[in-house]
A and B are shown apart, each in its own frame.
Chain A
Amino acid sequence: MAIKADLAGPENPRRRDYLQYAAVSVAAVGAGVVVFPLVNSMNPSADVLAQSSTEVDLSKIEPGQAIKTSFRKQPLFVRNLTPKEIAEADAVPVSALRDPQTLEQRTAKGHTNWLITLGVCTHLGCVPLGAGEGENRGPFGGYFCPCHGSAYDTAGRIRQGPAPKNLEVPKYNINGAIAVVG
């Protein structure tokens, strides 16, 4: 009888507690193992990630011109800056910026004239104007978001309005006249 009482039962509450904790812990780990794939299934799927690289032909973009293309189904702005626009961007003291970055940090080495950014306003994701022919480029000559009035300069940096960050620069390489984004 004494041996039986040792195994489990109200006479030996610590043993019973241990069994209870162990069982609940195993169940919790099991639940976590099941929840993980459910949550992870909502991350971008392989086919979405597969579209993650885009090639842009730079030879057809004149200085001062910009084109709007698409990268990962988001708008991508590719802009050939004029020397004047480069000078304007370089003239701004970096410390005065909301998101301090120089034009050099935002462009590829030796290709300071190619400003390649996502066309997604960092406020709430609208497409800023300024990449299309004749569109309003805003007070700083870069891009202007019509939704809530964020203005970007010629380096795609936020200068005015509610957006917190500069237009995002994706990873890219320039090989000759081709830019490979992604």
Chain B
Amino acid sequence: MSFPWAKHYEPKNPVMQWVDSRLPLPRFVYNAVGAGYPVPRNLNYWWNFGVLAGVALVCQLITGIVLAMHFHSSAAGAFDSVNVGIMRDVNAGWFLRFAHANGASMFFVVIYIHMFRGLYYGSYKAPREMVWLLGVVIFLLLMATAFMGYVLPWGQMSFWGAQVITGFFSAIPVVGDWVRVWLLGGYAPDDAALNRFFSLHYLLPFVIAGAVILHIWALHIPGSSNPTGVEVKGEQDTVPFHPYYTAKDGLGVVVFLILFSVLIFFAPDYLGHPDNYIPANPLSTPAHIVPEWYFWPFYAILRAFTADFILPAKLWGVLAMFGSILLLFFLPWLDKSPVRSGSYRPMYKVAFWVLVADVLVLGYCGGSPAEPLYVILSQIAAAYYFAHFLIIVPIISHLETPKPLPGSITEAVLAKTGA
């Protein structure tokens, strides 16, 4: 579906006409990310991050496929194949490896900004709930993929990360221990676990790519939202995706690649952990186990539960950690305000920024050792996280008086430029 004024694909080149009449793939692309997709004219730079996430996915797929050609997936060979083979012997292997490891970080930076963009501008609200739900699915798949990828170099953090994260499943009552042994194919992470993680780490990105196609498909039914949250009313409110947003997104891609290059070439290990340059040792746990930075907020929620209350503390921690993400599936129905954009919601806007600060505090605690101060901070921040979605947002949507919305996107744009 598209707006009635969307441009139609009319290829002039006879070869393209021949292809289009037999397999309308060029038409499909034209309507999806070409001139055939009308987009609100007022998108700001926060709307770049969807395309940037796509760029990050493509970077990870390309570097990953080449790295897999040099990787040995065995407990005896994995560490050396990465740290000796790829890093020293393979031509440009160091570049591929650092691009892939830091590419994961860039992917999460982009995804988190993309998600917070959605939260601020109410992009999850009707009629775009399905876009949001698929986005949460992609986020979960991305986390699983990143976790399994981090295990592959088989350093100390890889090994103990695998041990701790598969340990979550042993919290399941009755069948937990069996589930964990089944997931690992043994009693501790070893060849069986490493090989299946490698297999799935190769598979899941393609599943993500499929989910991304559904995500964009679902987006194109109502069309993109915009910073005012007011729906498109006519042709004057939109511009064609190409060339307007291909150009605007292109600028974002350039900035993204500059930052990405700075990481790869000047600080390739800044976001990593030195313990992962020690080969995995099943008999010695590092003193301070932390996951990669992008899992810190969730790790803090996991560790926030220290006392048994009906259920064991361990099970609470695991439930809360998964719950903090599953909660996002219900957001479109928890926020009852008909106004989408946070710009017109004075109370929600404050709550949004407090949530951003709260997640940063959780992240900081998750990266710190499990000392009493950080545990207490995590407990407060975790409680607030759940309160935001379950109590504050639903209450605000009743109490708040939104600011008057502009009559249309065009009116908002003209008011801003003073024309």
1/0 per residue, CB under 8 A from B, across A74-104: the answer is 1100000000000000000000001000000
1/0 per residue, CB under 8 A from B, across A143-179: the answer is 0001111000000000001111000000000000000
How far, in whole Å, are A72 and B164 apart by their CA atoms in the complex? 18
Residue B10 interfacial (CB < 8 Å):
no
Residue B190 interfacial (CB < 8 Å):
yes
B308 contact set on A, CB distance < 8 A? 98, 164
B182 contact set on A, CB distance < 8 A? 39, 42-43
A74 contact set on B, CB distance < 8 A? 187-188, 282
Residues of chain B in range 146-200 having any CB-CB distance to chain A below 8 Å:
160, 163-164, 166-168, 170-171, 181-183, 185-188, 190, 192, 196
Choose from B185, B190, B283 the contact partner of A68 (Cβ within 8 Å).
B283
B313 close to A164 (CB less than 8 A): yes
How far, in whole Å, are A58 and B181 apart by their CA atoms in the complex? 29
A180 contact set on B, CB distance < 8 A? none
CB distance from B264 to the nearest CB of A (A): 31
> Quick check: which of A15-23, A26-34, A106-114, A123-131 contacts chain B, the rest being far away?
A123-131
Residue A44 interfacial (CB < 8 Å):
yes
A75 contact set on B, CB distance < 8 A? 282-283
Residue A65 interfacial (CB < 8 Å):
no
A44 close to B192 (CB less than 8 A): yes
How far, in whole Å, are A147 and B187 apart by their CA atoms in the complex? 20
Residue B317 interfacial (CB < 8 Å):
yes
A39 contact set on B, CB distance < 8 A? 182
CB distance from B374 to the nearest CB of A (A): 11
A162 close to B164 (CB less than 8 A): no
How far, in whole Å, are A61 and B288 apart by their CA atoms in the complex? 30
How far, in whole Å, are A163 and B187 apart by their CA atoms in the complex? 18
CB distance from B228 to the nearest CB of A (A): 46
B283 close to A124 (CB less than 8 A): no
Residue of B nearest to A161 (CB): B306
Q: Dominant SS at the A interface? A: loop
Residue B201 interfacial (CB < 8 Å):
no
Residue B284 interfacial (CB < 8 Å):
yes
Residues of chain B in range 263-288 having any CB-CB distance to chain A below 8 Å:
282-285, 287-288
Residue A1 interfacial (CB < 8 Å):
no
B306 contact set on A, CB distance < 8 A? 161-162
B164 contact set on A, CB distance < 8 A? 124-126, 147
B370 contact set on A, CB distance < 8 A? 147-149
A147 contact set on B, CB distance < 8 A? 164, 285, 289, 370
A43 close to B188 (CB less than 8 A): no
Residues of chain A in range 32-49 having any CB-CB distance to chain B below 8 Å:
39, 42-45, 48
Residues of chain B in range 196-255 having any CB-CB distance to chain A below 8 Å:
196
How far, in whole Å, are A148 and B288 apart by their CA atoms in the complex? 9
Choose from A42, A123, A125, A163 the contact partner of B196 (Cβ within 8 Å).
A42
Choose from A73, A119, A148, A163 the contact partner of B190 (Cβ within 8 Å).
A73
How far, in whole Å, are A72 and B313 apart by their CA atoms in the complex? 28
A146 contact set on B, CB distance < 8 A? 285, 287-288
B303 contact set on A, CB distance < 8 A? 148, 162
A43 close to B185 (CB less than 8 A): yes
How far, in whole Å, are A149 and B181 apart by their CA atoms in the complex? 24
How far, in whole Å, are A123 and B168 apart by their CA atoms in the complex? 9
Choose from B188, B284, B285 the contact partner of A72 (Cβ within 8 Å).
B188
B186 contact set on A, CB distance < 8 A? 44, 48, 72-73
Residue B406 interfacial (CB < 8 Å):
no
Other A-B pairs beyond A43-B181, A125-B170, 20, CB < 8 Å: A39-B182, A44-B186, A48-B185, A48-B190, A68-B283, A72-B186, A73-B282, A74-B187, A74-B188, A123-B314, A124-B314, A125-B188, A126-B160, A127-B284, A127-B285, A147-B285, A147-B289, A148-B370, A162-B314, A162-B317
Can you identify 20 A-B contacts, CB atoms within 8 angstroms? A43-B182, A43-B185, A44-B186, A45-B192, A68-B283, A70-B282, A70-B283, A74-B282, A120-B188, A124-B163, A124-B167, A125-B163, A125-B167, A125-B188, A126-B160, A126-B164, A161-B306, A163-B314, A164-B312, A164-B313
Shortest 9 CB-CB distances between A and B: which pairs?
A124-B167, A164-B312, A125-B167, A126-B285, A124-B164, A127-B285, A72-B187, A125-B163, A48-B186
